[in-house]
A and B are shown apart, each in its own frame.
Chain A
């Protein structure tokens, strides 16, 4: 780890002010950033610790919406969210207890790891991602591998998930990391079905629109029997080929629908 200065702002405004400085970077749960620093793969001048800010903590559930402040850990989401069980269950299966007690929803979404779980939930739910500047629809938020539409110095403050009529997340673990080798989040809002896939694509999380159309007319796992996922653009590594991942997308989608 290279030397850096650590700032611990007392309020969100102070944090945003500190983050506007050259070479400053936000530190939330640190589950990606700290290992990166340890391996000397990043050298921020200043780390602005936002993990302790009370303004970024907490879950509220009203009128069919689950609102989660950006600094809320996976462990808290898993333990407290009641009206959206698929979301709570997803949070409860990220990493291990140590990761879940540090890692935050804001950090996960801002990092947009192509194998992370939360992006699938956000995209399938068309969550609203609120920052210090604006509110971004999840459909407009994810911009490819580790890329989002966040501006420099822009900080996620809250994520609002509309609670669906039915939802399920099926995660097939990469054997070593237990990130999603393929994860599929299916959410049904009336006749509208959204299918978001993580882990599989070189472009990060995406919606499987053919499946969405098929399921909108017939919400049963057999509705997608005739569909095939194009393996073009899928990730290929020592844990699976493109065609394996493409196959898993369909299998996991069917299982998610069946479990709804």
Chain B
């Protein structure tokens, strides 16, 4: 392990400000003269607005302006960023998504009106005085009922079905045939529970307008300010990009929920223009529960066909995917291209068919949440494999090993359109068995029995796809965006470097890890490199951070720009040493002429670039600044194997996680400590999904788990010390760093490990339980035990 540069566990420099209370989050920004917004939100899941009387509210103290849907009738709706084409070649149903409700509300939390006032309390007082004549309509919450007909979320669509997607449609017949004729078919119906992202920092938006030059600025809690500028500027408010600046400063966690363009951002930007005052909105936690896009919420039936030797023959899976009431920005891509393509997992299943029905319901929109489609794919696959192993009396590790794609079979083309570039699933499983001390399980189980507890071991493997690309392919699949990344590397006159990246760091540690790469390439110290991100006015157009893409795509762009820098610097060095650029070598921050003792320092070359007295001006521009846009040739494919041990108390149903071990192949690793942290966080989130978290709607569309009194987040004392290892490294073959991405792996790999462990404990304890839907709360486990 290195002590600096790539491979070093450099301490996270950004933590100094975060941990000392000096982070600058959006809510820390206060623009002189700002007013405050309070959104009047629907308290019914479905209703027709017959009228809104704002007269009384308008005359209340401090009120600056009141807006309703009528004020936004001429404004564009919030766009969906991915058009899915269904099994029959038809485009998905794409309803309008207004900034403020237009005649109808479609979920609890749907914004009806907004009050701008001198203080938040005044805005809230006035909002309470708005009289909404609401005719409540029946709500449709259950997806299968929604598809069956009856109440329509969007009358004009004449259906609640957004699309019926088949993948790969040409495989369908062969898959049906293989399942019909199989030696054994294991079938499993399951729910992938709806989650609420719960970033520590709630969303905030501040709109500011400078009438003197007609410039708008939006400060917002975003993972991708350039994407927001494009979507909001071009599609909603028609503000050209040179008149619109979007700033996403320090952001306190996103997990996907801050990718999307939200109504509140457009509202604050437009209200500031109309009122000519800065307008600030800060979500309360209760508001976040009913306005942040939720995650997951799939109902699935999966069938796995096996031959007499336990070899996988075919997979067929049918999923209902909840879209909620509107299409959030990337909602449509999650159950399709980020889910169906992952159904091969780590295995050589020759035939796979995936059907997904995306459904509108009177609930908060659902979109990407840490893992986005891959956790849903992995969960059903790894659960059905575990069930198959139990049915066939096979060891859960052996059945997986048997079906693994082997190391010498890469690149491997799956039947669901992906080509895995590299991997070694045997190596990660070997490593897992070693670090999890699986041989000691029986002894530990015996100790548990003495305490009246049932011990279980859960194993699973995962594959994921990061850094979604290339742009031309995703465009063909329906993406309305490119998926490249950008970097400008600006070398300052005395040799320090500022990197302007289109990625965004909201916990990932880019300010630490990106400099490690540049320091390694040039041979200068990491503290000579500064990372700038989050402001469209001083970073190149980039697509932001999600899908574990930053180092694989943004890091690659930075490498490409740095390569250009080095090439130019070598020419300058060659001039200074009167040598040929081809003979110049850069090592440890010094340029030398190969085979001589002539050398010139990095700082001298940089200064020469900006003070070009002795400089080949006729051949070379002064200055040392380069930009690169990098569009990957393929996804990257991190993979791993996880083991979880639990104790179940059969009297209460309570599950305790005793140990959790994770082996991940992330390819090359820039900062092992940061990677450990990402895996820890991901596992914690996955354990949250497996045991605790659940967004529950009742049949009227009220969010029953609408506060932390009922929505159960994982806490530190719910978790063991994780054992993580990423020493099995098969570098990505198509990006310059050989990296794969590590942000979501833990959240993808951990839920099936936990659930498999609980079911192992129950079955070994004599309870014949084949499945329990997440979250495996004490009451659900107890109910399963007690039949």
The answer on A and B forming one complex is: yes
A interface residue numbers (CB < 8 A to B) = 1, 3, 39-40, 172, 175-177, 179, 181, 237-241, 244, 247-248, 251
Residues of A within 8 Å of B654, CB to CB, are 172
Cα–Cα, bound, A226→B10 (Å): 62
- Closest Cβ of chain B to A2, distance in Å, is 8
> Would you call B782 an interface residue if the criterion is a C-beta within 8 Å of the partner chain's C-beta atoms?
yes
Contact A176 B711 (CB under 8 A): yes
B710 within 8 A of A: yes
Contact of A39 among B286, B652, B653, B712 (CB under 8 A): B286
Complex CA gap A238/B589 in Å reads 62
Give A239 to B652 CA distance when docked, in angstroms. 12
Give the distance in Å from the alpha carbon of A176 to the alpha carbon of B705 in the complex.
Answer: 9
Q: Give chain A's interface secondary structure class.
A: loop
Chain A residues, CB < 8 A from B778: 172, 175, 181, 240
Proximity bits, B73-94, A CB within 8 Å = 1, else 0: 0000000000000000000000
Closest chain-B Cβ to A246's Cβ sits at a distance in Å of 11
Chain B residue nearest to A177 (CB atoms) is: B709
Chain A residues in 8 Å Cβ range of B652: 172, 248, 251
Cβ proximity bits B105-136 to A, threshold 8 Å, 1 near / 0 not: 00000000000000001001000100000000
Given contacts A39-B286, A251-B652, contact A176 B782 (CB under 8 A): no
Residues of B within 8 A of A176 (CB): 692, 705, 708-713
Cα distance, A39 to B705, chains bound together (Å): 16
Contact check, A238 vs B696: say whether CB atoms are below 8 A apart. yes
Task: Write the nearest CB–CB distance from B656 to chain A, whole angstroms.
Answer: 12
Known: A176-B709, A176-B710, A176-B712. A238 touches B694 (CB 8 A): yes
* Chain A CB within 8 A of B582 CB: no
**Contact call B286/A238, Cβ cutoff below 8 A:** no
Assembly CA distance A159 to B709 (angstroms):
28
Within 8 A of A (CB), among B661-713: 691-692, 694, 696, 704-705, 708-713
Complex Cα spacing A25 to B128, Å: 24
Q: Beyond A176-B705, A177-B710, A247-B782, is A239–B121 a contact (Cβ under 8 Å)?
A: no
Inter-subunit contact B708/A239 (CB<8 Å): no
Instruction: Kindly identify, within residues 646 to 660 of chain B, every residue whose CB is under 8 Å from any CB belonging to chain A.
Output: 651-654
Choose among B124, B694, B708, B786 the residue that contacts A177 (Cβ–Cβ < 8 A): B708
Q: When chains A and B are docked, how far (Å) is the Cα of A3 from the Cα of B121?
A: 9
Which among B286, B653, B779 has the highest number of chain A CB atoms within 10 Å?
Answer: B779
Distance in angstroms between the alpha carbons of A79 and B121 in the assembled complex = 39
Cα distance A189–B779 in the bound complex, in angstroms = 34
Number of B residues with CB within 8 Å of any CB on chain A: 26
Judged by a CB distance under 8 angstroms, whether B238 is at the interface is no
How far is it, in angstroms, between the C-alpha of A256 and the C-alpha of B652 when the chains are bound? Answer: 14
Residues of A within 8 A of B282 (CB): none
CB < 8 Å neighbour of A239 from B286, B691, B710: B710
Pair A175/B692 contact, Cβ less than 8 Å = yes
B:703-752 near A, CB below 8 Å: 704-705, 708-713
Q: Is there contact, CB below 8 Å, between A241 and B121?
A: no
What 6 pairs between A and B have smallest CB-CB spacing? A176-B712, A240-B779, A175-B712, A177-B709, A251-B651, A244-B779
Q: Which residues of B are found within 8 Å of A39, using beta-carbon distances?
A: 286
Task: Establish whether residues B710 and A241, one from each chain, have CB atoms under 8 Å apart when the complex forms.
Answer: no
Q: Is the CB of B783 within 8 A of A244?
A: yes
Question: With A1-B121, A175-B692, A248-B652 known to touch, is A241 a contact of B783 (CB < 8 Å)?
Answer: yes
Q: B362 contacts the other chain (Cβ, under 8 Å)? A: no
Q: Find the B residue at minimum CB distance from A1.
A: B121
8 A-B pairs besides A239-B710, A241-B779 with CB distance below 8 A are: A3-B121, A175-B778, A176-B710, A176-B711, A238-B694, A244-B653, A244-B779, A247-B786
Given known A-B contacts A175-B692, A175-B777, A244-B783, A238 and B710 have beta carbons under 8 A apart: yes
Docked Cα-Cα span, A3 to B708, in Å, equals 26
Nearest B residue (CB) for A255: B651
A-B contact count (CB 8 A): 48
Residue of B nearest to A247 (CB): B782
Chain B: which residue is nearest A238 at the CB level?
B696
Contacts of A179 in B (CB 8 A): 709
Alpha-carbon gap, A241 to B777, bound state (A)? 12
Q: What are 28 residue pairs bridging A and B, where the CB atoms are less than 8 Å apart in the complex?
A: A1-B121, A39-B286, A172-B652, A172-B654, A172-B778, A175-B692, A175-B778, A176-B692, A176-B708, A176-B709, A176-B711, A176-B713, A177-B708, A177-B709, A177-B710, A238-B696, A238-B704, A238-B705, A239-B710, A239-B777, A240-B778, A240-B779, A241-B779, A241-B783, A244-B779, A244-B783, A247-B782, A247-B786
How far is A54 from B589 in the complex, measured between Cα atoms in Å? 68
**A238 proximity list for chain B (CB < 8 A):** 694, 696, 704-705, 710
Bound state CA distance, A240 and B777, in angstroms? 9
Complex: how many Å from CA A40 to CA B654? 36
A142 to B759, CA, bound (A): 42
Q: How far is the CB of A22 from chain B (nearest CB, A)?
A: 22
Query: CA separation between A172 and B782, bound complex, in Å?
Result: 13
B691: chain A residues at CB < 8 Å are: 175
Task: Give chain B residues whose Cβ lies under 8 Å from the Cβ of A3.
Answer: 121
Cα of A114 to Cα of B779 in the assembled complex, Å: 19
Chain B residues in 8 Å Cβ range of A1: 121
Q: Which residues of B contact A240 (CB under 8 A)?
A: 778-779
Q: How far is the CA of A64 from the CA of B433 in the complex (A)?
A: 57
Q: How far is the CB of B121 from chain A (nearest CB, A)?
A: 7
User: Which residue of chain A lies nearest to B651 when distances are taken between CB atoms in the complex?
Assistant: A251
For the complex, give the distance between the alpha carbons of A172 and B654 in Å.
9
Cβ contacts under 8 Å, B696 to chain A: 238
Taking CB atoms, residues of chain A closer than 8 Å to B786 are 247
Instruction: Name the CB-closest residue of B to A172.
Output: B652
In the complex, the chain A residue whose C-beta lies closest to that of B714 is A175
- Of A39, A238, A241, A247, chain B has the most CB atoms within 10 Å of the CB of A238
Q: How far is the CB of A147 from chain B (nearest CB, A)?
A: 20
- Cβ of B121: which chain A residues have Cβ within 8 Å of it? 1, 3
Give chain B residues whose Cβ lies under 8 Å from the Cβ of A40.
124, 128
Q: What residue of chain A has the Cβ atom nearest to residue B713's Cβ?
A: A176
Residues of A contacting B777 in the complex (Cβ-Cβ under 8 angstroms): 175, 239
Question: In the assembly, what is the distance between CA of A239 and CA of B778, in Å?
Answer: 8
Q: What is the bound-complex CA distance between A175 and B652, given in angstroms? A: 12
Interface string of B24-55 (1 = CB under 8 A from A): 00000000000000000000000000000000
Chain B residues, CB < 8 A from A239? 710, 777, 779
> CA separation between A244 and B654, bound complex, in Å?
12
Closest B residue to A240 by CB, please name it.
Answer: B779
Bound CA span A9–B275, Å: 45
Closest chain B CB from A236 CB (angstroms):
10
Question: Using Cβ atoms and an 8 Å threshold, which residues of chain B touch A244?
Answer: 653, 779, 782-783
Contact with A along B428-446 (1 / 0, CB 8 A): 0000000000000000000
Chain A residues positioned under 8 Å from B705 (CB to CB): 176, 238
Residue among A1, A3, A240, A251 with max Cβ neighbours from chain B (10 Å)? A240
Shortest Cβ distance from B698 into A: residue? A238
Interface string of B750-784 (1 = CB under 8 A from A): 00000000000000000000000000011100110
CA distance A177 to B286 in the complex (A): 15
Residue from B651, B692, B783 whose CB has the most chain A CB atoms within 10 Å: B651
Across-interface contacts of B694 in A (CB, < 8 A): 238
> Closest Cβ of chain B: how far from A259's Cβ, in Å?
14
What's the least CB distance linking B781 to chain A, in Å? 10
Interface centre among B652, B696, B783 (most CB of A within 10 A): B652
Which B-chain residue is minimally distant from A241 (CB atoms)? B779
Q: Which of A179, A244, A247 has its CB near the most chain B CB atoms (within 10 A)?
A: A244
A3 to chain B, nearest CB (A): 8
Tell me the nearest residue of chain A to B691, going by C-beta: A175
B614 CB to closest chain A CB (Å) equals: 65
Closest A residue to B124 by CB, please name it.
A40
Q: How many angstroms from the CA of A244 to the CA of B779 in the assembled complex?
A: 7
